[in-house]
Amino acid sequence: MGIKILGTGSYLPPKVVTNDDIAKSLDTTDEWIYSHTGIHRRHVAGEGESSSTMGTEAAKKALEAAGVSPDEIGLIVVATSTPDYGPFPSTACLIQAALGCTNAGAFDLQAACAGFVYAVEQARGFVNFYPDKKALVIGTETLTRIQDWTDRSSCILFGDGAGAIVIGNDEAPGVAGTKTDAYTILGADGTGAGFITRTGGMKDAIPFNPETGVPVPVEHVNAKFEIKGHDVFAFAVRQLSKVATDLCVKKGIETTDLDRVFAHQANARIIEATARRMKLPLESFWLNLEETGNTSAASIPISLDQAVKAGELKEGMKIVMIGFGAGLTYAGTYLTWPNL
Ligand code: UT7
C-alpha cells in the first residue's frame, strides 16, 4: 500500500504526418529518417488543439481509469516545454479549469524531456504529506509548433501528444515516504545548456529610450530551435544507462532484474544503445516512437498508458522510468508497479 499510480490516460492528436509527407518538401527520405531515428510518423496537433487541450483529454482518461473525481485532486503538475502561453497563464491552470478541479493547486514544470519524472517526484512528495488528496501529473507537448520545418536534421524528430497519471496515498501523512520502495534520481548538467536551445526568452536586454530612460517596446521575438544531435545522443546514451544502473544499485538489484524500462522516446538507436549497456533485451523497453516521434515530456506517460492498456504491467513488476532532455536534465524513478 502507500503511494500508488491509480490510473493512466493519454491522447494523441488524429492528424498524422509521415516521413514521406515531410520528404515532399525537404531533402530527406523515410529510409534515412527511420534508419537514423526509428521514427516513421508522428501525430501533430491541429486546429483547436494545444498542450492544454491534449493534457485535459489525457487527464480525463486517467481520472476515469482511477475512479477519482476532479474535486478530489489537490495538485496538478504539468510537465511541458510548450505551454499554451509563454509563460503564463500556466497550462496547468488551463487544465485545472477545463477539468473543474476546484480544490487543486496547479503549476507547470519545465525540465524538457525529463520533465515527467521530475513532475511525478513533486506529486509524490505532495501526496506523501496530504494523503486525503490525490494528484494529477501530466506531460503534454506541442513540439511541432516550435520546429524549424526547413531544418531536416531536427524537425523530423518531434511529435505532439499528452499522457497523464493520477496518484494517491492510503497511509498517514508522511508515513508512505518512509515505507515506499520507489526511488528517484533527479539530475542536471547545465554545462550542456547549448546542446538543445530555443531562443526567444527574456535573456536579451531591450533598448531604452535615451531621453526618457523608459524601455522601448520590442516588436519581434526571434525564437529559434536548435539541437547539436551528436552531443545530445552521446549524453543520452551515457546518462540513461547510468541513471537506470544507479537506481538498481540503490535498490540492491541487477539491471537484468528489471521487468520493464520506460525510457524517453527520443531515438530508437539511443534506446538500443541503452539496452546494450544495461545488458537487457530490447523487448524490456517500451518502444512507440515509430508512431509518435519524440513527444518530449509526454513520451513516458504515453508509453505507460499504452503498456497499461495492453495489459503488460502486472502488480509487483520492477520498473524504471528514465528521461533526459534540454537543460541538460536527466531523471529516473524505480518503482514496483503500481506503487510509487
Ligand atoms: O529529447 C532530446 C531531443 N534530441 C535528440 O534526441 C537528438 C539526439 N540525436 C539524434 O537523434 C541524431 O543525432 C540525429 C537523428 C538528430 C541525427 O542523426 P546522425 O546519425 O547523428 O546524423 P548526422 O547529424 O551525423 O548527419 C549525417 C548526415 C549529414 O550529411 P553530411 O553532412 O554527412 O553530408 C546530415 O546533413 O545526414 C544528413 N541529414 C539528413 N539526411 C537526410 C541530417 N538529417 C537528415 C535527414 N534526411 N532528415
Per-residue confidence in pLDDT tens, the chain, 340 aa: 799 999 999 999 999 999 999 999 999 999 999 999 999 999 999 999 999 999 999 999 999 999 999 999 999 999 999 999 988 999 999 999 999 999 999 999 999 999 999 999 999 999 999 999 999 999 999 999 999 999 999 999 999 999 999 999 999 999 999 999 999 999 999 999 999 999 888 888 889 999 999 998 876 666 889 999 999 999 999 999 999 999 999 999 999 999 999 999 999 999 999 999 999 999 999 999 999 999 999 999 999 999 999 999 999 999 999 999 999 999 999 999 999 9
The ligand 1 atom nearest the CA atom of 153: 44
For atom 3 of ligand 1, the residue with the nearest CA is: 266
Q: Hey, which residues does 160 pair with through a beta bridge?
A: 142
- What's the pTM value of the predicted model, to 2 decimals? 0.96
pLDDT in tens, 106-152: 999 999 999 999 999 999 999 999 999 999 999 999 999 999 999 99
Q: What does DSSP assign to residue 98?
A: H
For atom 20 of ligand 1, the residue with the nearest CA is: 36
Contact 260, 307 (CB under 8 A): yes
* Residue 143 alpha carbon to ligand 1 centre in Å: 18
Best CA proximity match to 166, nearest among 124, 198, 219: 124
Q: What does DSSP assign to residue 208?
A: B
Best CA proximity match to 53, nearest among 24, 83, 17: 83
199 C-beta neighbours (distance < 10 Å), count: 12
pLDDT in tens, 305-326: 999 999 999 999 999 999 999 9
Active site residues: 113, 264, 294
Ligand 1 in reach of 230 Cβ (< 6 A): yes
Ligand 1 in reach of 23 Cβ (< 6 A): no
